[in-house]
Structure 1
Amino acid sequence: MRRTSWSTWLGTSMEYYDLTLYGLAAALVFGPQFFPEQDPAVALLSSFAIYGSGFLIRPLGGIYFGYLGDKLGRKFVLVVTIAMMGIGTAAIGLLPTYAQAGLWAPALLVVLRLVQGFGSGAELAGASLLMVESAPTHKRGLFGAIVGLGTNSGTLLATASWTAISLLPQDVLMDWGWRIPFVASIITTAVAMYLRVAVKESPVFVEIRQNRAENVAATKAQTSLWADVKASKRTFIVTLAIRIAENSGPYLIKTFLVGYVAATIGIHGSAATTGILIGTLLGFAVIPLTGHLTDRFGRKPVYLFWTIFQFLFIVPALALIHTENAFWISAVFVVFICGSTPGPFVVETSWFVEIFGAKRRYTFMSLVKEVGSIFAGGLAPFIAAAVVAASTDSWLPIAIVMMAYPLIGIIGAIFAPETRGRDLTLEQDAF
C-alpha cells in the first residue's frame, strides 16, 4: 500500500503539473516563441487552442487505455500513461522555436500536446482504480484521497517552479529559462516509473481475472462495449452529472474567477493568487479529512455537503469580491480552493470505483471523467466569460451560471446509490 500510494501520488501530481505548467507557459511564453508573426491576442488564442486539443483527445485515450486496463490490468496501463505524459512534457522543453524551425515548431507542439492528452485520458481513472481497489474496504475513501493530494501537489509544484524561474531576467526567461521546469519533469517521471513498475497489480483485478478464467464460457459471451454502454446509460447519466459539477469548480474558480477579478473588478491578480496558494496548502489537511469522512458517513452525504456548500457560497462570494477589498477577495479563494472544489473530487474518487461494475470499470470511469471534463472544465469558463461580455454591470447572471453546475451535481447525487463497502468484484454496476 505504501508503494502504491507513492506511485499514485506522483503519477497524479505529474498530470496536474503538466496541465498547470502548460497553462502558465501558454499565457506568458508560447505566443512569442511559437507564433511570433501573429497579433499578440491571436498568438495567445493559438497557444490555448493547442492546450484545448489535449482535452479533446483525452476521451479517446480514456476509451483505448480503459479497454486495455479492463483486459490486461491497471498496472500495465499506468506505466504506459506516465511514460507518455512524462516524455511529452520533457520534450516540450526541448522543442525548437518558430525562429529556429518555422512552422515545424508549432506543429511539433501540437503533436506533443496530443501525446500528453492521449496518455492522461486514462491516468486519473487508473490511479483512482489502483488506489481504491488496493485499499482495505473500510479505508477506501481515505486512500482514494491520495489522488486528490496528487492534484494539489502537481498544481503547487508547477506554480512554485514557474514562480522561481520568473525571477530570471526577462530575456533569459524568454530565451531558455522557460524550458527548465519542462525538462526537469523527467526526474519526477523517472521516480514515478520506478515505483509503478515495482508496484503490485490491484488485488481486486487479480480476483476478477481469476473469476473470469474459471468461467470461460461467460467471458466469451461478453457483449460489445457499446451494448454495455447502452445497458449502463442510467449509471452514465448520474455519474456524468456528478462529474460535471465536480470538474467545473476548479476551472470556474482558478481560470474564470481569477481573470474576472483582475480584468473586470480591476484588482491586482495577487489577491486571487494569494488566496489560491493558501487554499492549496490548507487542502493538504482538508483532502484526507474528507476521505476519512466518506469512510465514516458514506460517499453520498459528504458529496452533497460539499456541493450544497459550494452552491450556497457562490452569492456571498461574489458579493465579497465586489467589495473590491483584497483581503475578502483572498478569503473567498481560500474557501473555494481548500474545500468546496477538492471536496467533491475526493468523494468521487472512491464513489465511482464502487458505482461501476468490474466488467467495464476502467473504460466507463475514464469515459465519464473525460467527457465530463469537456462539458465542465472546457465549457464552464467560456460560458461564464460569455455571460460577462453580454450582461450588464450586475453580477447575478454570473452567479446563476456558477450555481447551475453544483445544482447539476446535487440532482445527480440524489439519484445515485450509497456504495460504501460494496464488493468491487461484482461485474454489474451498483444500480
Structure 2
Amino acid sequence: MSRTDTAGAPQQADLHYETPEGRRNFWSTIVSIWLGTTMEYVDFALYGLAAGLVFGEVFFPEQGPVVALLSSFATWAVGFIARPVGAIVLGRVGDRHGRKLVLVITVALMGVSTTAIGLIPSYAAIGVWAPAILVFLRICQGFGAGAELSGGAVMLAESAPTKRRGLVASLIGVGSNSGTLLASSVWLLVLLLPQEDVVAWGWRIPFLCSILVAGAALLLRRTMRESPVFESFKESKEQNLAHAAQEPQGSGWRAFFVMLGLRIGENGPSYIAQGFLIGYVVNALAVDKSVPTTAVVVASLLGFAVIPFSGWLTDRFGRRIVYRVFCLLLVVYGVPAFLLLESREPLVVGGVIVVGMCLASLGMFGAQAAYGAELFGVQHRYTKMGVAKELGSILSGGTAPMVAAALLAAWGSWIPLAVYFVVMAGIGLVTTFFAPETRGRDLTLLTDAV
C-alpha cells in the first residue's frame, strides 16, 4: 500500500495560520468546535447514563428490569438511525455552502432537543405518549448529531497546520470528552438525592442544564470563520469541478468502506464501554450506581491527556499504525474485561470501565479525526465522511447497547457479550490492513486517498 504523505508541501491551512488574524481565527474555531462537540456528547452521555439508571422506571415501568433496560437502549438506537440521514442532508449543505453554516444548525438542533427531553412527562402521567415523545426527540438529536461530529473534525483538520493536524483534529475528542465529563459529573450530584427523587424529577436537571452549553456554542459558531480549505475550494470552484468531472467512475467507495470499518472498530466498543456497561453492572450485577458513574468521570478526566496524546502519536508515527495498535489492544481486552466484571468488586469494575473508555472512547477516537478527514477529497469530504461514520455508528455504537442487552436477556451470560465486543474491535483491526497511510495529505485535493 503506497503512502500519501505530502507533509512537506505548503498547504492552504499552513498559509492561513501564518498571519495573526489567521491564528486568532484558528483558536476561535477550536473553542467553538470544542463547545459544540461538548453539546453533542452531553446529549449522548446523559442519555446513556439515564437509560442505564432511570429511564426504565420513568418510561417503561410495566416491564421487568432486563426488558426495561433493553427498551431504554432501543430508544437510544433510534437516534443513531437518524444520524446518516442528517449526515446526507446536512453534509451536502456543508460541501456546497460551507462547513460553518451546518455547524451552526447542528448545535442549535441538538441543544433544543436535549433540553426538551428534560421536560417530557413520565409514563405515569401521559402513558405511551411519554416514550413516543422521547423517540421523536431522539430522532431530532440524531439528525443534528449526524453532521456535527464529522463537520467538527473536518473544520479542525482543514484549519490546522499540516504537521500538527493529528493533534489539532483530535481535539474534537476533547469536546466529546468534556461532554461526557460534564454529564457524568452532574449525574453524580443527582445521585446524591434519594432514589425516589432521582426517578421523580432529579434526572431532568442534567438535560435542562444542557441549554447553557448549547447557547455558548451557538454564539461562538456564528462568529467563527469558514475553513481555509473550503474557502480555497470555492474561489476556484469552476476549475475544481472540471477536474472532478475527469475522476474515474466509482471513485470514493474504497475510502468510504475503509472509514466504515474504522468506525465500527471504534464506535461499537466505545458505546459498550461507556453506555451498556453502566446498565449492565447496575441492573445485572447489582453494583452500586455510583461505581460506574464515578468510573466514567475518572476516564473523562484521563481523556484530556489520552486524546491529544493519541492525536500526537498519529502525527509522529502515522495514522494507520496507531489506529491498528488501539484495535489490537481492544481485541485483547474484551474477554478479560467481562470476566473481571463478574467479581462485582467496585475497584475492579471501575477499572475495567476506565480502561475500556481510554482505549476506545478516547484513544481511538482521537486517532480517527484526522485520519477520516484525510481519506476524502475536498468536494465531498463532509458528506462522505459523515455518512460513513454515521452508518458505522448504526452498525456498531448505536445498536451495540441494544444488541448487548438482547444477548444478555437471551443467554444470561457474559460470554456472548465479550465475543460481540471482540468481533467489533476485530473489524477495525482488519480494516487497518486495507487502509492507506494519509498523514500530511493535501486536503485541497479532489481525489480520495484510496
TM-score > 0.5 by shorter chain: yes
Q: Does 1:135 align with 2:154?
A: no
Asked whether the 8 Å contact 1:13–1:152 carries over to 2, the reply is yes
Q: 1:272 to 1:387 in 2, by over 3 A?
A: same
Ranges in structure 1 where 5+ consecutive residues have no aligned partner: none
Which aligned pairs between 1:11-410 and structure 2 lie closer than 5 A?
11-31=36-56, 33-34=58-59, 38-39=62-63, 46-97=71-122, 104-170=129-195, 172-214=197-239, 230-263=250-283, 265=285, 267-389=287-409, 397-410=416-429
CA offset at residue 314 of structure 1?
Answer: 2.6
CA offset at residue 353 of structure 1?
Answer: 0.3
Q: Measure the CA separation in 1 of the matches of 2:298 and 2:201.
A: 30
CA offset at residue 333 of structure 1?
Answer: 2.4
Q: Look up the SS of the partner of 2:225 in the other structure.
A: coil
CA-to-aligned-CA distance 1:365-395 (integer Å, 9 cap, x gap): 11111110111113334444454455586x5
Q: Does 1:415 align with 2:434?
A: yes
Q: 1:320 to 1:15 in 2, by over 3 A?
A: same
Q: Measure the CA separation in 2 of the matches of 1:340 and 1:107.
A: 32
Partner of 2:4: none
Q: Measure the CA separation in 2 of the matches of 1:75 and 1:379.
A: 30
Partner of 2:33: 8
CA offset at residue 19 of structure 1?
Answer: 1.3
Q: Measure the CA separation in 2 of the matches of 1:384 and 1:99.
A: 28
CA offset at residue 32 of structure 1?
Answer: 5.3
Q: 1:43 to 1:256 in 2, by over 3 A?
A: closer
CA offset at residue 218 of structure 1?
Answer: 5.7
Asked whether the 8 Å contact 1:212–1:218 carries over to 2, the reply is no
Partner of 2:15: none
CA offset at residue 71 of structure 1?
Answer: 0.3
CA offset at residue 107 of structure 1?
Answer: 3.9
Aligned letter for 1:242?
L
CA offset at residue 399 of structure 1?
Answer: 3.4
Asked whether the 8 Å contact 1:11–1:82 carries over to 2, the reply is yes
Q: Mean alpha-carbon deviation: is it higher for 167-176 or for 148-157?
A: 167-176
Asked whether the 8 Å contact 2:76–2:398 carries over to 1, the reply is no
CA offset at residue 49 of structure 1?
Answer: 3.4
CA offset at residue 233 of structure 1?
Answer: 2.1
Q: Mean alpha-carbon deviation: is it higher for 243-252 or for 379-388?
A: 379-388
Partner of 1:430: 449
Aligned letter for 2:27?
R
Aligned letter for 1:298?
G
Q: Measure the CA separation in 2 of the matches of 1:358 and 1:204.
A: 8
CA offset at residue 117 of structure 1?
Answer: 1.3
CA offset at residue 92 of structure 1?
Answer: 2.4
Q: 1:319 to 1:184 in 2, by over 3 A?
A: closer
Q: 1:44 to 1:197 in 2, by over 3 A?
A: same
CA-to-aligned-CA distance 1:241-270 (integer Å, 9 cap, x gap): 111001011122223444444455554454
Q: Look up the SS of the partner of 2:433 in the other structure.
A: helix
Aligned letter for 2:437?
E
Aligned letter for 1:399?
A
Aligned letter for 1:426?
L
Q: Measure the CA separation in 2 of the matches of 1:267 and 1:101.
A: 32
Aligned letter for 1:275?
A
Asked whether the 8 Å contact 2:163–2:315 carries over to 1, the reply is yes
CA-to-aligned-CA distance 1:192-235 (integer Å, 9 cap, x gap): 0111011110001111111214456567x599xxx97x432222
CA offset at residue 4 of structure 1?
Answer: 0.8
Asked whether the 8 Å contact 2:334–2:421 carries over to 1, the reply is yes
Q: 1:12 to 1:323 in 2, by over 3 A?
A: same
CA-to-aligned-CA distance 1:330-381 (integer Å, 9 cap, x gap): 3322222223442111111000100111121100111111110111113334
CA offset at residue 76 of structure 1?
Answer: 0.3
Asked whether the 8 Å contact 1:247–1:372 carries over to 2, the reply is yes
CA offset at residue 24 of structure 1?
Answer: 3.1
Q: Look up the SS of the partner of 2:396 in the other structure.
A: helix
Aligned letter for 2:367?
V
Q: Measure the CA separation in 2 of the matches of 1:254 and 1:165.
A: 18
Q: Measure the CA separation in 2 of the matches of 1:406 and 1:55.
A: 19
Alignment RMSD = 2.8
Asked whether the 8 Å contact 1:70–1:359 carries over to 2, the reply is yes
CA offset at residue 30 of structure 1?
Answer: 4.5
Name the count of aligned residue pairs: 424
Asked whether the 8 Å contact 1:283–1:339 carries over to 2, the reply is no
CA offset at residue 20 of structure 1?
Answer: 1.8
Aligned letter for 2:182?
L
Q: Mean alpha-carbon deviation: is it higher for 96-105 or for 243-252?
A: 96-105
Q: Look up the SS of the partner of 2:167 in the other structure.
A: helix
